[in-house]
Amino acid sequence: MKYPCTILTGTCLLWALLACGPKLPQEVATAYEALPEHIDFNFHVRPILSDRCYACHGPDEEAREAELRLDLQASALGKLKEGEGKAFVPGNTAKSVAI
């Protein structure tokens, strides 16, 4: 008679999960509400790249790594000189090597 106990336990767990509902934690919900409806590259993305990426992937040839410039769209979206694929493929993170 193991099965009735397993079915009862599974049913109770299912009801408990349904009762809790798919609610996000308050911090996540607040951050989600603050997101812009449209993401602007120059306003939202470029400052992040500037702060975190341009030191190694910016205009300075001496400091540049992997021959990848992220300050120029043609370089960021073009084929990589080392390896296969492209660093970034707009709208397709699965094909973006850098992500």
DSSP state of 32: H
User: Within 10 A of 54 (CB to CB), how many other CB atoms are there?
Assistant: 17
Instruction: Confirm whether 76 is domain-assigned.
Output: yes
Q: Which residues touch 95 (CB under 8 Å, ≥6 apart)? A: 85, 86, 89
pTM for this structure? Answer: 0.56
CA atoms within 13 A of residue 5's CA, in its CB half-sphere: 2
Instruction: Confirm whether 97 is domain-assigned.
Output: yes
Q: What are phi and psi of 81, to 5 degrees?
A: -75, -30
Task: Identify the residue whose tokens are 């001496």.
Answer: 62
Instruction: Confirm whether 62 is domain-assigned.
Output: yes
Instruction: Confirm whether 86 is domain-assigned.
Output: yes
Rounded to a whole number of angstroms, the CA Rg of the chain reads 23
Instruction: Confirm whether 81 is domain-assigned.
Output: yes
Q: Is the pLDDT of residue 52 over 90?
A: yes
Would you state the pLDDT for residue 54?
A: 92
For residue 70, the enclosing domain spans: 39-99
64-92 pLDDT tens trace? 887 889 988 888 889 988 878 898 998 89
